[in-house]
Amino acid sequence: MAYAGVWFRGDVRLAANPAVAAASQVNGVERQIPALLLLAPGQMREHNWAPRKWDLLRRHLDHFVVDAAQHGVALTIRVINSWAEAPAAVVQFAQTHGLTEVHVNAEYPVDEQRRDQAAEQGLAEQQIIMRYHHGSVVVPPRLTTGSGGMYQKFTPFARAWRAEVAAVGVPRVPSLPQRSPVTVADIPPIDYPRQDSSAWVVGEAAVRQLLADYVAQQVERYAAERDYPGLESTSRLSPYWELGILSPWQATQELAQWSPHFPAALEQGADVWLNELIWREFYLHLMWHVPRLSYGKAFLEHTDRMRWRHAPDEFAAWCRGETGYPIVDAGMRQLATEGWMHNRVRMIVASFLVKDLLIDWRWGERFFMQHLIDGSFAANNGGWQWSASTGTDAVPYFRVFNPTLQSEKFDPEGHYIRKWIPELATCPSKVIHTPAAWLQAHGRSDYPPPMVNHKLARERFLAAFKEL
């Protein structure tokens, strides 16, 4: 007789979790659902987990173990060092509980694929089946072009994604399993630094409410306001997608209430916000199809020959938010303080690092992962390669953001700048984007002058890229 368990990974939720739903169906209501969660601090170090990201997950686990127990999910949390130890731990777990099936939600980077292949083989040797689901994406990575290849450009991918959802329908969001409560699992300590994440709510129900409130009350303004960092117009739900506390299925379910023809005929704000979720899936699909992305390689192979500058002092100034370009420095200081940065500003600071300073995008990618509470390997890699013009569907290499013009356009009165750069709190709006002369006239030296001339830096980058 079949008996199914669940192996939780980047999906620490019970609702909208196809692995949990499938195991629940196999077991019926009369049997509990054995479940395993592995914490691997060595792997977290290798993957540059931000201490604030770990703190968010750890706080969420306090709620998750209680929710799991109340719904008959008999959770076991084990500490291992790295994914190399995961297959043996999963096999032991399955044998201990007498399982015939282990249900998982697929993960797409190379390390995770190799881990799963090894676990699947180890389970098969014990006549235990590992069954895959796709709970972290709405559309699994099976979309192909007319010629059978992968999509290398976002626009046709998004078109195909929308057509697939229109044809198949919005994924049905499985409800929570209903069965007798079990003992609440212990959460073992792990040796990994933590940084305060208390500004972010935790707990599955509370996070789902954030999503519902945003779609109901704010998403209609998203298209008009999303590029202005001084406004609170973005959802700030990205950490919950990354940790799997929220499912994109839940987002599509909320948005579908706006249109009977979903994903068509959405109001503009909701449609543009949906496009950002599709970008997230685009980058996850790329991880599945292009293993080199998991090895720190550029998607456009010829750009791996780019002669980046080795400038650790300039990189350190960028990290500290001391470049002399206020919008860049405000973004980096927001990252240091909150572990998060507005998306428009992420593009500006990334462009500045790779195109104004001519520093390898991988330096910035790693720094972001080490500090972002929503650090997503796929999305972070995709965003940096987009900015560096080395990735699929990347910004053309000759498009170099002018940080001053970006600042004037998207933070015209300097509200965002003043929030994160107190040295410029009294600087008039008309000069806050280029404050060097004003500071000098007032005998001020507490904020640095621009570390590079943007026009000359742009010419330097274009010359270097053209050599490729």
Residue numbering of the annotated binding site for FAD: 222, 234-238, 273, 276-283
User: At residue 175, what is the residue type?
Assistant: S
Beginning with the edge strand found earlier in the chain, give each strand of the sheet holding 33-39 in spatial order: 73-79, 33-39, 4-8, 101-105, 129-133
Q: CA 302, CA 210: separation in Å to the nearest integer?
A: 43
Burial class (CB in 10 A: 0-12, 13-18, 19+), 195: middle
DSSP three-state, residue 19? helix
Q: Which of left, alpha, beta for 186 (phi over 0: left; psi -120 to 50: alpha)?
A: beta
Active site residue 241: no
Q: At a CB cut-off of 8 Å and minimum separation 6, what does 35 contact? A: 5, 6, 7, 8, 20, 68, 73, 74, 75, 76
Local structure of residue 356 (DSSP, 8 states):
I
Contact between residue 251 and residue 271 where contact means Cβ atoms under 8 Å apart: no
Q: Known catalytic residue: 258?
A: no
Q: Which helix (H) or strand (E) holds 33?
A: strand 33-39
Closest CA to 27 of 173, 136, 171, 180: 180
Q: Pick the catalytic residue: 200, 279, 318, 363?
A: 279
Q: Identify the active-site residue in 220, 225, 267, 276.
A: 276
- H runs (alpha helix) in 321-376: 326-338, 343-351, 361-371
Which one from 161, 200, 361, 363 is the annotated catalytic residue? 361
Task: Decide if 276 is catalytic.
Answer: yes
Active site residue 85: no
Annotate 442-460 with b (16+ C-beta within 10 A) or e (fewer): eeeeebbebbbebeebbeb
State CA 251 to chain mean position distance.
15
C-alpha 97/C-alpha 75 separation (Å) is 12
Report the C-alpha gap between 156 and 142 in whole angstroms: 14
Which residues are known catalytic residues?
Answer: 276, 279, 308, 343, 361, 384
